[in-house]
């Protein structure tokens, strides 16, 4: 049995979503080097254990997730039942039963759907992706096919603003794009260092493209090692997953 978070947001009835934690009731003899529900195949974990974890996850889903090869970029791709692996950092679908997914361990998962329940999208948003416009690119694509003008968002667990220290160059990228982004940065412990608020940066980007209903954004991965993997905290570590789909029974 796996531990998971169900987003608290007013998504249409035909939309389902979840976010996994690192917690799992392991099978006898589980040799998982990351001590939990690691779902990533690129972090030097035992491939058999990763597949076992993915098999357990599959029991909660209508189909196998369409995993991306994530590169901290800004590309958003449409996925369908025949989709193979894409190099991208956001997945979108109009097909009921297709599970969009991103892997994270401090980066921010952003879940998106329209109020008509006709499109869904999920974004892997680290600071590079946010700065590169991954949210804007995803929203632009979703709106091409949405049956509603209104899109809502849920911000999943990510590294909190008290722990995400970055350099001047990161702050300058955001402030150069929008001077109000300065509100998302507080002075760090050393000169030239800043604590960045990924949640606030995402909210700003969403607001700029007309998304005013934003939920979540209050769970820190770094500060809860019992529940979440954190790359910034641990270095070599596992990955959790954000998952979003339209239910197969949907006739949208």
pLDDT in tens, 158-213: 999 999 999 999 999 999 999 999 999 999 999 999 999 999 999 999 999 999 99
pTM to 2 decimal places: 0.93
Is the CB of residue 25 less than 8 Å from the CB of residue 1? yes
Separation of alpha carbons 46 and 144, rounded Å: 41
Given pLDDT bands bounded at 50, 70 and 90, which one contains residue 35? Answer: low
pLDDT of 44 reads 82
Average pLDDT, rounded, for the chain:
93
Q: How far is CA 19 from CA 7, 79, 133, 177, 235, in A?
A: 8, 19, 23, 30, 21
Which residues are CB-contacts of 91 (< 8 A; sequence separation ≥ 6)? Answer: 66, 68, 76, 77, 78, 79, 100, 101, 102, 121, 122
Q: Is the pLDDT of residue 27 over 60?
A: no
Task: Phi first, then psi: give them for residue 206, nearest 5 degrees.
Answer: -65, -45
Handedness of CA 204, 209, 119, 104 (dihedral sign): negative
pLDDT in tens, 44-69: 888 999 999 999 999 999 999 999 99
Q: What mean pLDDT do residues 17-43 have?
A: 77
pLDDT of 34 reads 57
pLDDT of 45 reads 85
pLDDT in tens, 91-108: 999 999 999 999 999 999
Separation of alpha carbons 219 and 227, rounded Å: 11
Helices (H) and strands (E) in the chain, counts: 6, 13
Taking the domains of the chain in order of start, what are their residue ranges? Answer: 2-158+217-246
User: Could you tell me which of 141, 154, 158 has the C-alpha nearest to residue 17?
Assistant: 154
Report DSSP letters for 82-110, one per residue.
T----B-SEEEE-STT--EEEEESSSEEE
Q: Is the pLDDT of residue 32 over 70?
A: no
**3.40.50.1980, 3.60.140.10, 3.40.1440.10, 3.40.190.10: CATH of 2-158+217-246:** 3.60.140.10
pLDDT of 1 reads 85
Q: Is the pLDDT of residue 135 over 60?
A: yes
Tokens found for residue 146: 């949405």
């Amino acid at each position: 049995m796996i531990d998971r978070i169900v987003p608290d947001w007013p998504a249409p009835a035909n939309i389902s979503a979840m976010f996994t934690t690192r917690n799992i009731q392991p099978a006898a003899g589980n040799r998982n080097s990351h001590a939990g529900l690691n779902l990533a195949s690129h972090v030097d974990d035992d491939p058999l254990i990763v597949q076992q974890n993915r098999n357990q996850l599959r029991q909660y889903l209508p189909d196998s997730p369409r995993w991306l090869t994530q590169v901290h970029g800004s590309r958003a791709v449409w996925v369908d039942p025949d989709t193979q692996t894409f190099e991208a950092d956001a997945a979108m679908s109009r097909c009921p039963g297709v599970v969009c997914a991103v892997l994270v361990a401090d980066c921010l998962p952003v879940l998106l759907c329209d109020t008509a329940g006709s499109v869904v999208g999920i974004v892997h948003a680290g600071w590079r992706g946010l700065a590169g416009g991954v949210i804007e690119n995803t929203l632009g694509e979703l709106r091409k096919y949405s049956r509603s003008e209104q899109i809502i968002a849920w911000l999943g667990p990510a590294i909190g603003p008290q722990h995400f220290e970055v350099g001047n160059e990161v702050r300058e990228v955001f402030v150069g794009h929008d001077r109000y982004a300065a509100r998302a940065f507080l002075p760090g412990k050393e000169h030239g260092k800043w604590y960045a608020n990924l949640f606030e940066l995402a909210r700003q980007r969403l607001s700029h493209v007309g998304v005013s209903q934003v939920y979540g954004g209050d769970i820190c991965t770094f500060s809860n090692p019992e529940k979440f993997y954190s790359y910034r905290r641990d270095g070599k570590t596992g990955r959790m997953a954000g998952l979003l789909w339209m239910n197969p029974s949907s006739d949208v």
